[in-house]
Structure formats: structure tokens, C-alpha cells
Amino acid sequence: MRTLARHRGRTALAGLGLVAALTAAGCGSGDTTPAPNSPDRNRAIADAMNAAVQGGIPGVQVVITGPDGQRTLTAGVGDVTTGAPIADNAQVRIGSNTKTFVSTVLLQLVAEGKLDLDAPIERYLPGVVQGSGNDGNKISVRQLLQHTSGLPDYLASANPAATEPPNPAQVQVLRPETRYRQYDSAELVRTAMTMPPQYAPGARSVYTNTNYQLLGMLIEKITGRSAAAEIDARIIGKLGLHDTYFPADGETVIRGPHPRGYQVIDGKQQDYTDLNPSWGGTAGAMVSTGAELNRFFIALMKGDLVPTALLEQMKQTVPFDRMPGAGYGLGLIREANTCGKEIWGHGGSIPGFETRNGVLADGTAITVTVNQLPTDEATDELVVKVVDTAFCAS
């Protein structure tokens, strides 16, 4: 995800899980880099983390899971009042990483012969995608997964510096009256249907959270159970992800040990740990840990969750509007970092937390978590530098 609305042109819950073009320590062409767990490699990551803290991020955690084991690095604080650090097993809101859990369930349903990726969404959810020029007869399930549907986004700008006023129909998630309100997917989709399409289906890819609310509704229609129940049975239970869950209706607190999450609003830092994430729903409501996110993405990329042929379809990408040079597949993002390493993952942002993550070709997975969304481009680049350094040093 990205900040729950447009932040420098990127929409809330946008997947930012990978890297941007920055030069990271020890990554030049022809460089001889030290062993993965060496002090030099950890020091490079720690230096980047400390720079992010000095630049205004309260706390940073890096979890690296690979063939040589797992290590966790932290910097700054998980609680600005007590000074406590982010715990190794800390649960955090993972925002748009939820989308990859949803897409994985849907590809499993394809494998079971219960879903056709190229069928129009109207076949499964008749009458739901209609209004203001939107037409579910012209939008396939694949286009929803890949953000090529052209549908409008139900989320409004949460950036106080935004120059364009939000559409009155859109959900503005940082308002006090919205923070603890319970939404359901059907309501959010109806909100989107009051707005015209952004472009013709299939014309291009523009990240839109409405797509994944519809996909959550699709899971429920096909299986007769909620998307949360299917994610739990098909992924969380299978992998033994004991600290990963989809919040229940009305649930506003994080269940396990967790850092505080902060949001800067009108120039003031506010504790935004507790909120009702139902407006994120199947586009971004889930909770997990860095270690368990790594386990999920490693299992997915190994083919443990989706048959190989369908995993290859998940990896067929189109240009991604949120990350120049990156590609968006079926709930997966592909990016090459400054060391030339190909990374597959997603990432997510929600008020209070941002996670950026991915898996390398050797099976090493990395999740970087911060407990405050970057407030400007300079701070964002400091977080990107942490991600890039961690991948280069692994």
C-alpha cells in the first residue's frame, strides 16, 4: 500500500514493496561483497536504518529470511513514549500485502476449476459492476487482479497537501468519523460505482483498490465463505502463520505484541495504531509479522501454494503506474533493484505502518517495516535506501 490516498500521486494501499533507483553500499559492478551474515553487510543495513530514523521515521525493522537462516535488525523505537524498540515478533498492519493473499486464493480456485480468469466479472457478480459508465460485462477477473480494469478507486486523498479536492463520494480514511467505522466491500464498491471509469478496460494498468474489494466478494460468491475464512484455511493454516490474521468485523486493536503506529496529520504526529481497517478489507486489512510475510512469499514463489503454470501467470506483468520500471502481475510486483537483482513481492501502507518486501531468486525474502508513513519525498527515499541496501547485502 501507500499512504491511504494519493501521496505524491500514488493512491492509498498502493503496493510499494520493492525498490527504487538508488546506489546502495557494496553494490557496484564488480564489487566483492562480504558473506550474508558478516558484520560488514549488517553494518551497511544498520547505517541505512539509522539514517531513516534520523530523517524522522520513529522505528525501522528489517527481517531477512534465507538459506543461511533468519536475522532481524531494528533501529529507532516502536513506541515514542516509552522508547521501547520494535520487537522481533511484532505484529503490524500489512496493508496491500493483503492483495497477494487474495490473489493466491483466487488462483487456487482457478486450479480447482471453479473460476475462469478471462470471464467477465458480471458472470460471477451480476449487477455489481454497473453505473456511471462502469460495465462488468467488459471487465475480466484477470483485469481486476492486474489493475487493468479501469474502475475508479473508492478511496480519497488523505494527503493534507493535496491540490485537488477529493470526490465527495470517496472514503476519506483519516477523518475521525471514519477511523472506527465498519464498512463492507459491497458498500465500498457501490461508492466506486458512483464515479466514472478512469479509462477503458485493458487500456493500461492503474492501481485501484476497488478491484480487490470485488475480488474478495468473488471469493465469497464462489466458495460460500468469507475471503477471510478462505485465506485462513488455504494459506494461514497451511503454513502455520500463527501471527497472521484478517481482523474480525469491528476489531480495532492489533492482537499480539506490536509497535505503535504513527501518522503525521497537519504537521502533528498522531498515534494511529488503533483503527477499524474494514475500509481496506480485501484490499488491505490484514495483520502479520515480518518473518511470517517472508514465509508466505517464499512459499508462494516456490510453488507451494499455487501450481507452477498458474504461478507463471501470476508473474506475467504489465507496466506498473506506481513504480516506474516495475511490473504488476496477478497480485505480484516485479522489480529490479540497483544491484540488478530481480525481486518479486508486493508491499503495503496503511496509517501507522508501511511494509516493503520481496523474494530473490535464491529464495531469500526480506521485509522492511516502518511505524510511520514517510511524510515527504526525502523521507521516503531514506526508507527506499533501507530496502535497497538490505536486498543488495543479501
Question: For 315-335, what is each residue's pLDDT tens digit?
Answer: 999 998 888 889 999 999 999
Is 317 among the domain residues?
A: yes
Is 4 among the domain residues?
A: no
pLDDT score at 162: 58
In the numeric block, the cell 520481496 is attached to: 358
Rounded Cα gap, residues 16 and 363, in angstroms: 20
Does 10 have pLDDT greater than 90? no
- How confident is the model over 198-243, as pLDDT tens digits? 999 999 999 999 999 999 999 999 999 999 999 999 999 999 999 9
Query: Looking at the whole model, is its pTM more than 0.75?
Result: yes
The range of the structural domain enclosing residue 228 comes to: 39-392
Catalytic residues: 96
Is 23 among the domain residues?
A: no
Is 66 among the domain residues?
A: yes
Task: Residue 193: give its domain's CATH number.
Answer: 3.40.710.10
| Domains held by the chain: number | 1
Instruction: Identify the bridge partners of residue 245 per DSSP, sorted by sequence position.
Output: 287
* Closest-CA residue to 277 (of 352, 216, 335, 210): 352
Non-local (6+) Cβ contacts of 229 within 8 A are none
Is 315 among the domain residues?
A: yes
Does 106 have pLDDT greater than 60? yes
Is 341 among the domain residues?
A: yes
Does 145 have pLDDT greater than 50? yes
Orientation of helix 39-54 relative to helix 377-392, angle to 10°: 170
Is 95 among the domain residues?
A: yes
pLDDT range class, residue 158, cuts 50, 70, 90: low
